[in-house]
Chains A and B, each alone.
Chain A
Amino acid sequence: MKKILFIIILFALSLPLHAKEPGGFDSDAILQKNIKYGWDNATNWENSRKDLQENMAVFKQWDNKKQSHLTNCLKSMIAPGWGHFSTGNYLKGEILLGLQVLLAGSAYYFYNQSQDYYDKYKNAHQIDEINQYYIDANSSYRTSGILVGLWIIVWGYTVLDTIQSTENYNRNLWFTLYDEYMNGKISVTAQGIQIRF
């Protein structure tokens, strides 16, 4: 009887040895989970890790060199086209700058003209002159208003387009840095092809 009791106690004590460790490493389970990333085998997983490391290396450079949307927008708000010039989009910057200078200049010209007519209107003593000068002043004033309205729209477009321009600049910067990084790894020299890992 004692013998049987001893065997039962021994069996009971040895039970934890057969149990699976709850926090243990289960590579199959992890691989199953990672199939959704395309890591259905260890090689893919390793390649992806290599890609991530490369991207991280490029990202550090990119993060230092990328341009801020806010800064470029502020530049465009202060001086039209400045944001575009910063992103290297010179043609668009010049067109938008030219357009805004033209619109603002024309608006000022018509406003000045309207004030001249308005002064004449205020000093007129003859009914036809009063009416004619008022019509001329108001017409120039409205033209000036239309040009100011158009200038505001072009100004707004310039600021908005700076966001897109900065976006394009940052995207191109990424590809350039990535290409530079990848080309840096493989260099063709007089001594032969050098691959840097």
Chain B
Amino acid sequence: MKKYLIYFILLALSATLILSCSLSRNNPLDPIGNPDVFAPPVVQIDTLNTSPDLIKWYVAVTKEDSLADGYYIYAAFQDNYFGTYDRVGKNISAFDTTFSKDIVSHDYVWFKITSYNIFESDTLEGKFSQITQ
């Protein structure tokens, strides 16, 4: 009986060891795994904007070094509100916070924006803004 108990304790220990393992966060762009990387600022859509052809946004920046290096615009067709968004238009610089819808196809209805930062030639995109028309 004692032998069986020892055997089961060993098995339980091995099972615990296996369960305690987890994958390492080794993506160089992962801010949790790499302390040299920080998450790009979150983009907020300016809802007070009255121009229908223009999208305006702003970012809440708390530190100077957390400024975005630029912005990407994503757009989707009418039926794709929850579906696939295409990255459209040219890259928008860090100092520009507006986008004119006229430069893309009029079939695009839904838009969302992300900021990005460049870390050693790799681009890390931040969280998506809320979807706007």
* A residues neighboring B (CB under 8 Å): 114, 118, 121-128, 130, 134, 137-138, 141-142, 145-146, 148-150, 152-153, 156, 160
Whether, in the assembled complex, B84 has its beta carbon less than 8 Å from a beta carbon of chain A, the answer is no
Q: How many residues on B have C-beta within 8 angstroms of the other chain's C-beta atoms?
A: 29
Instruction: Tell me if B40 and A118 are in contact (CB < 8 A).
Output: no
> Contacts A134-B30, A153-B15, A156-B11 known; A141 to B122 CB distance under 8 Å?
no
List B contacts of A138 (CB < 8 A). Answer: 22-23
Instruction: Tell me if A145 and B18 are in contact (CB < 8 A).
Output: yes
Q: For the complex, what is the distance from the CA of A127 to the CA of B25, rounded to whole Å?
A: 13
List B contacts of A145 (CB < 8 A). Answer: 18-19, 21
List 18 additional contacts besides A149-B16, A153-B8; criterion CB under 8 Å.
A122-B26, A122-B27, A124-B27, A125-B29, A125-B122, A125-B123, A125-B124, A126-B114, A126-B124, A126-B126, A127-B124, A130-B29, A134-B27, A148-B15, A149-B15, A149-B18, A153-B11, A156-B11
Whether, in the assembled complex, B95 has its beta carbon less than 8 Å from a beta carbon of chain A, the answer is no
Chain A interface, DSSP helix/strand/loop, else mixed? helix
CB distance from B5 to the nearest CB of A (A): 11
* B residues neighboring A (CB under 8 Å): 4, 7-8, 11-12, 14-16, 18-19, 21-23, 25-27, 29-31, 39-40, 114, 122-128
User: Which residue on A lies nearest to B128, using beta carbons?
Assistant: A128
